[in-house]
Amino acid sequence: MNERSFGEDSVGFVETQYATLCEPPNELVLDSGVKLGPIDIAYETYGVLNEDKSNVILILHALSGDAHAAGWYKGARKPGWWDIAIGPGKAFDTDRYFVICSNVIGGCKGSTGPSSINPATGRPFGLDFPVVTIGDMVRVQKRLLDHLGIDSLLTVSGGSMGGMQALQWAVDYPDMVRSAIPIATTSRLSAQGIAFNEVGRQAIMADPNWNHGDYYGKIPPDAGLAVARMIGHITYLSDEGMHAKFGRRLRDKEKYGFDFSSDFEVESYLKYQGEAFIQRFDANSYLYITKAQDYFDMTNETGSLVEAFRGVKARFLVISFSSDWLFPSYQSKEIVTALRLNGVDVSYCEISSTYGHDAFLLEAGQQAILIKNFLAHTMEAVAHGR
Amino acid sequence: MNERSFGEDSVGFVETQYATLCEPPNELVLDSGVKLGPIDIAYETYGVLNEDKSNVILILHALSGDAHAAGWYKGARKPGWWDIAIGPGKAFDTDRYFVICSNVIGGCKGSTGPSSINPATGRPFGLDFPVVTIGDMVRVQKRLLDHLGIDSLLTVSGGSMGGMQALQWAVDYPDMVRSAIPIATTSRLSAQGIAFNEVGRQAIMADPNWNHGDYYGKIPPDAGLAVARMIGHITYLSDEGMHAKFGRRLRDKEKYGFDFSSDFEVESYLKYQGEAFIQRFDANSYLYITKAQDYFDMTNETGSLVEAFRGVKARFLVISFSSDWLFPSYQSKEIVTALRLNGVDVSYCEISSTYGHDAFLLEAGQQAILIKNFLAHTMEAVAHGR
């Protein structure tokens, strides 16, 4: 891959950068009331910051994402998680915009989280790491932008939990956010969403190797984390998508095995997903990040979504996918209605797709056109001081 | 409860009965080719067999069901699993019909399964128990009816896996089955259904106490089985039903706990379901019965559902529920279409309900009326020799 020749639409080789923020006495006060700092944040940037710093796009990742949203690490077999959407000429066009993506607090990809060293003990935090919220993630991102000298965002965008952060940004920093593109997301996690997250956490905590979160340097709770990932993965696909992709096709057999090995392709696919995930993710981070999702409810303080969006100044493009049953379209429509009732300029599109919730990671065509046009209009509005 | 006075619509106290079938040399040849016998079967009966034995209804249970479909055990706090539908004046009216329900082979409620003693070793079968299919379950039920001297069934009925058995009965014993009422079921388990079953199995097998199925007399894989049940339980409810029942209500707190105990009611509900289940179910039976579901595909031999139903003589009432996303209505409609293309007399009704897949266990009103009318017409047709 070092000899790789990139297509014209690739940002090419990238490297993750790191910033240390919230150093005492400027610790971050979390929603829980706990003070945390210093906080390391991993981030990447693509494209070039323009002179008046008006072309900044903040990309926000989902549960298992990280700062590596686009381009290639040297030697890697896969590009960043949203390479389909970020690059020259792509939805987030790096010829025009300066794109930033950072790993969330609580994560395990370079940002401070439960696997980081607790300065107070010299040992990994484990469960001593404080529970964080979507609001906390956003506060840390704000500190990162302060650190980078950026005080205006052309847009904030992400899918799933990334969309939650985009909503939170538009509410918490209305004067800083010119537009927001929440995709396949919700203004508050549903009971069903909480239930799936909780079962994933129970699977991890049921693994004896989890050891109440104290497993660093020992055998991690791989079996539990793999089960959690498998559960999650089913919810990211759709019934019709799974039917189209796997149906009832048998793995490599002529007929049923009459045992408990994998008979069906869908079984071995899921197992593969579970096993690949444990190579790259920390079980405690899975607990913390799903908990942050569970706690996400924009109506928590106001009791009403319309009230919650009262101060929003950003333009919005809201996107959902027809077969997404984890964050169904009705949840996006609730956001759209509450924004419109505040007189916010909002476009909404439900894209027809069989990919389920994962569609935001996979659908390049319509999603890219929607985002491109929306950003062009937003940039024009900014240029004309609107 | 021993002093309990029953309502007029209750079958009252009941006791489970047992039959030993398939004794050598008359073992059952399973779909896997393995010979199995003797086989113990637990069953219950309600109502009175009429003189010409024309009023027999066979009730077929779902994954976690058993022979105890109606009435009360002495001292019990809950009646049988389908007491809502079986009793004097109820859907399956025990004043008119003789109702039989038996625990499936592979189960853990009195019928031979992985927790039974293997006559060859004198120890519990564990994973030495052969993998069984829905067809095998039906074959054993046929042996039970032979044993009871019954050669005609007014109807076969059940929900979920019980509906699979009802379909299999109508196909395998067309001359014996006058009618069938498959409810909330499918003619073949979908990729999504297989996926959920597989994740449940993986949760059990990831529990070190599972020990490759050899845990009898030791600590069973309770943690894994509880996770499997929690996963299943989410699929039995609906998004809207969970929203109505739990929403984002907190358990007994004013605000978030900022820890990994249960914050939300839906979490403690799920945990309760998991913990209640491990008291009454065997983890290996969970593996075997879910595998039987995965293998269920009425098109396996013919390649076509229309072909599969070619010899069916039974009248049909097919029922599905609007919010059932585990066995969605489109799967019932496939059954209806294939039956109609064979000229079979079939009624179909999608009942509007927010209860999801579990609706067949909970909806008394419309479901009861549909079944009652259908059975009355069927009985009349039998009386007139049609």
A6-21 pLDDT, tens per residue? 889 999 999 999 999 9
Of A34, A192, A291, the CB nearest to B260: A291
pLDDT of B3: 53
pLDDT given at position B7: 87
In chain A, the residue whose alpha carbon lies closest to the alpha carbon of B200 is A227
A208–chain B Cβ distance below 8 A for any pair: yes
Instruction: Give the C-alpha separation, B279 to B275, whole Å.
Output: 7
pLDDT in tens, A366-380: 999 999 999 999 999
- CA angle, residues A69, A292, A171, in degrees to nearest 5: 75
CATH of A194-291, one of 3.40.630.40, 3.30.70.2190, 1.10.1740.110, 1.20.120.1200: 1.10.1740.110
Choose the catalytic residue: B324, B332, B353, B358: B324
CA distances from A164 to A34, A98, A188, A346, B223 (A): 22, 22, 8, 16, 32
pLDDT of res. A145: 98
Cα separation of B197 and A226, whole Å?
A: 15
> What average pLDDT does range A217-233 have in this prediction?
98
User: Is residue A363's pLDDT more than 90?
Assistant: no
Is A324 a residue of the active site? yes
How far, in Å, CA of B237 to CA of A265, rounded?
26
pLDDT at A386 over 80: no
Question: Is a pLDDT exceeding 80 seen at residue A152?
Answer: yes
A190: its two tokens: 């549903």
Residue of B202, B233, B273 to mutate for A, most A C-beta atoms under 10 A: B202
Note the pLDDT of residue B286.
98
- Please identify which residue in the block is written with the tokens 């007189």: A343
The pLDDT value recorded for residue B1 is 44
Q: Which of A106, A164, A162 is nearest to A298 (CA)?
A: A164
B357 has catalytic annotation: yes
Q: Which residues 6+ apart lie within 8 Å of A330 measured at CB?
A: none
Assign A1 a pLDDT band (cuts: 50, 70, 90).
very low
CB contact under 8 A, A198 and B267: yes
Asked if omega into B25 is within 30° of 0 (cis), the reply is yes
Chain A 105-144, residues with CB within 8 Å of chain B CB atoms = 127, 130-131
Alpha carbon of A294: minimum distance to chain B alpha carbons (Å): 9
Positions of chain B with pLDDT under 50? 1-2
| 3-state secondary structure (DSSP) of residue B93 | strand
Closest partner residue to A199 (CB to CB) among B34, B234, B247 is B234
The beta-carbon contacts of B24-30 under 8 Å, at least 24 apart in sequence, are B28/B136, B28/B139, B28/B140, B28/B143, B30/B130, B30/B131, B30/B132, B30/B133, B30/B136
**What residue of B is the nearest CA neighbor of A270?**
B195
Domain B17-190+296-383 CATH superfamily? Alpha/Beta hydrolase fold, catalytic domain (3.40.50.1820)
Mean pLDDT of A133-138: 98
Out of A198, A256, A294, name the one closest to residue B295 (CB).
A256
Q: Enumerate the domain spans of chain A.
A: 17-189+298-383, 194-291
Chain B residues close to A134, C-beta within 8 Å: none
Contacts of B186 in chain A (CB under 8 A): none
Cα distance between residue B113 and residue B126, in whole Å: 8
Active site residue B160: yes
A263 CB neighbours in chain B (<8 A) are 294-295
Across the interface, of B206, B270, B328, the residue whose CB is closest to A198 is B270
Residues B246, A191: C-beta atoms closer than 8 Å: yes
For residue B107, give every residue at least 6 positions away whose Cβ sits within 8 Å of its Cβ, in sequence order, or none: B66, B113, B285, B289
B23-26's contacts with Cβ under 8 Å and 24+ in sequence apart are none
Give the neighbor-by-neighbor strand order of the sheet with B98-102: B17-21, B39-46, B98-102, B56-59, B155-159, B179-183, B315-321, B346-351
- Best of A133, A267, A269, A293 to disrupt the B interface (most B CBs within 10 Å) is A267
B325 touches A at CB < 8 Å? yes
Mean pLDDT of A140-155: 98
- A52: region left, alpha or beta (phi > 0 left; psi from -120 to 50 alpha): alpha
pTM: 0.97
Question: Is the Cβ of A336 closer than 8 Å to some Cβ of chain B?
Answer: no
The phi, psi pair for A369, rounded to 5°, reads -65, -45
Judging contacts by C-beta atoms under 8 Å, the chain B residues touching residue A262 are: 198
Look at B246 and A196 and tell me if their CB atoms are within 8 Å. no
Q: Are strands A39-46 and A17-21 parallel, antiparallel or unpaired?
A: antiparallel
Q: What is the pLDDT of residue B363?
A: 86
Average pLDDT over residues A54-72: 98
The reported pLDDT for the residue numbered A3 is 53
Between CA A182 and CA A354 the distance in angstroms is: 20
Position of tokens 């002093």? B3
Residues A321, A351 contacting (CB under 8 angstroms): yes
Write the burial class of residue A17 (CB in 10 Å: 0-12 exposed, 13-18 middle, 19+ buried).
Answer: middle
Tell if the CB–CB gap between B243 and A270 is shorter than 8 Å. Answer: no
Nearest CA in chain A to B265: A191
Contact between B96 and B379 (Cβ < 8 Å):
yes
State the fold for domain A17-189+298-383.
Rossmann fold (3.40.50)
